[in-house]
Structure 1
Amino acid sequence: MAKHFSGTTRRCRRVLLSLLLSLYPFIAYSDSPTIWLLQSGEAPVYEQVTASILSSLDSICAECAAYQIKQLNLDDTPSDALSASGDSKPTLIVSIGVKAARFVASSQTPVPKLYTLIPYSSAASLDLDESSKNASAIYLDQPYIRQLKLIKLIKTEKQVLGVLFGPATSALRAMLKMAANNLKIPIATESVTEEAEVGPALRRILESSDILLALPDPLVYNRDTIFNILLSSYHSQIPVIGFSASYVNAGAMLAVFSTPSDIGIHIAETIRQFIISDGKGLPEAEFPRYFSVEVNRSVARSLDIDLPDSEELKQRLEQMEGQ
């Protein structure tokens, strides 16, 4: 009877030990500092950015092994998730998309946060104090100087650049004009404050310019206006420089933009820098570090414009930026 009891005890110990060993990684992981990747929803673009972040961290961040990278969806996140205290708080919150950024900003959490995949125009509503290293952003928009340098690569000396500003981009007007002047790019501009003004302003800008630069302003460029803008520009034999691949597919001659993969790599590099600095601070808000160029060759041919291919334009643009 004693032998049977002893054998049963040994078997129980082995089962218990095996169970503890199997649970050890999870027990250890639960004590690890945590980084949240908070998506605004389940849209493919958020999933693609998150996948790029995780893949890039695996490649470049050996230090991240000590952290739990937690992928969260805003739709499944309690409204008071950031008001918890103690060990449940993350070390860093990376919001992906505007809705997640607003959720994090409204929580007023002291946790360092990196807002990503947001337009530059939304920065004013977030707690991006330039003197603070507790919050930063990686914007979705391209820096206007990059767009101007791309235009510099394709335009002739006397061609005039036209730009139509709306409420979301009006703050850029003076800076963009100054940058264009520094690059010796003649520029004509118009501003609108309501959608009814877009048509007349577009006609004026097409009469006074040779190239149209589209900026991500939802009042000016949206699903209700984009077809007429592209069609009017084409009839006027004026190429449009867009800000996304979809604009090129719709009829813009070319665009410089950052893919979800490009932005994910940039985010991963920023996370790594945060980790190796022992969480001592985030960089100032940045425009995307990496980018792609897309050319609509059929539109270029129709306008009798001979363009280098996309990869050559990208390489030349990278050289101009010193990358």
Structure 2
Amino acid sequence: MLARRSWTSPGRILRPLLLCLALVLTLPAHAREILLVSSDQGPSVQSFYQALADRRPEDQVRLESPDDLPPAATLDKETRLLLLGSNALNWRLASEQAPPALVLLVSRVDAHQLIADRQLTGISLLWSDPPPGRQLQLAMQLSPRPQRIGVLLSPASEFLAGDLAHQAAELGIELITQVQTASDDTRPLRELLDNSDLLLGLDDKQLYNPRTIKGILLSAYAENRALIGPTAAFVRAGSLASTYSDQNDWLDTLDPLLDQPPSQWPSSLYPERFKVLSNRQVARSLGIDLQDDASLTRHLGEGESP
């Protein structure tokens, strides 16, 4: 007698398979762990963390302080690190083998002091200071248009002099630089004010900080000289104008980077999206004709378009 063949309905087999397939298709294809590391846990960082999590709901986004984390080398190598500020960068630099990292809220001067000429792998620096070339272009939008632009440098920012000179030459600007080695020595600033039409401030905390900015601005305005930069925060303190990138601009920059393999990340970059903030009262007091901020932003953006 032939053995009876067992027979199962095709539907009983297909239904579980289709259910499993549906579950697989609903899972995020590229879900990642994104670890946001910051010593500052204040409202602005919390807002950035929440906005990033909202933009990338398929990823697991966490916010931690470097003080509460183990060495970076112990983390899963597939983790994407977002480092906010110098303390977070120092935590990552303490480990030679660690997940790739995107660094924010660090200026070129800050990074030069931390890194100098070290060869870094797996770290991409997204500069927090406005691009000097963009700031020079902003100065060219003023009326009257400055012909000679002065830049005050400290020993910490002196390495930027060559890059500034190159960009100024491309714009047909005469750049005048002075190095200030002592905080109480005002002679370099006076020399610049005597020989330039406008000051370009760099994000160098040795020169521009809450303690020094009032004296710099008073000296400049006494000679009817405007200050561009060094950052948007100083516009509120009395500088004429600055370019800056806000939270949405930074998120627009981060989104495509987080979707790329870290091997494709640039070693450093500035965000493409930006805005202009100006101080209209300062412009009026100095007799400077200044377009509105939206028009300045549009004109500068058109000038940077390929």
Contact kept in structure 2, 1:256 and 1:292, CA below 8 Å:
yes
2:249 to 262, 281, 284: 262
The offset of 1:47, in angstroms, is: 2.5
Q: Which residue of 1 aligns with 2:90?
A: 102
**Which of 257, 278, 298 is the matching residue for 1:315?**
298
| Aligned AA (2:65) | N
After alignment, is 119-128 or 137-146 more displaced?
Answer: 119-128
SS at match of 1:162: strand
Q: Does 1:73 align with 2:72?
A: no
Q: Which stretch shows the higher mean deviation, 101-110 or 143-152?
A: 101-110
Show CA shifts across 1:8-59 (max 9, x none): xxxxxxxxxxxxxxxx9xxx99xx642211122213332333234334435x
Give, in angstroms, the shift of residue 126 of structure 1.
4.2
For residues 170 and 250 of structure 1, what CA distance do their matches in structure 2 show? Answer: 25
In the superposition, the TM-score normalised over structure 1's length comes to 0.78
* Structure 1 segment 35-184 matched on structure 2, within 5 A: 35-57=34-56, 65=58, 67-75=59-67, 77-78=68-69, 80-84=70-74, 88=76, 90-124=78-112, 125-126=114-115, 132=121, 134-154=122-142, 156=144, 159-184=147-172
Q: Answer yes or no: is the 8 Å Cα contact 1:82–1:89 preserved in 2.
A: no
Preserved contact between residue 72 and residue 91 of structure 2 (Cα < 8 Å): no
Shift of residue 304, structure 1, vs aligned partner: 1.1
Q: Pairwise CA RMSD of aligned residues?
A: 2.6
Q: Structure 2 CA distance, aligned partners of 1:165 and 1:237? A: 21
Percent identity of equivalent pairs: 29
Alpha-carbon displacement from aligned partner over 1:197-222 (angstroms, at most 9, x marks no partner) = 3x111111111111111111111111
Name the structure where helix makes up a greater proportion of residues.
1
Q: Deviation at 1:107?
A: 2.3
Distance 2:286 2:132 in 1: 24
The amino acid of 1:267's aligned partner reads L
2:202 is the alignment partner of 1:215: yes
Moved over 4 A (4+): 126-132, 155-158
Q: Is the 8 A contact 1:96 1:117 kept in 2?
A: yes
2:211 partner amino acid: D
> Any conservation in 2 of the 1:162–1:205 contact (CA below 8 Å)?
yes
Higher mean alpha-carbon deviation, 153-162 vs 301-310, is at: 153-162
Secondary structure in 1 aligned to 2:36?
strand
Q: 5+ residue gaps in structure 2?
A: 1-22
Tell whether the 8 Å contact from 1:240 to 1:254 is kept in structure 2 after alignment: yes
Amino acid at match of 1:217: D
Q: Is the 8 A contact 2:73 2:99 kept in 1?
A: no
- Give the match's secondary structure for 2:184: helix
Shift of 1:320: 0.6
For the 8 Å contact 1:45–1:260, the answer to whether it is kept is no
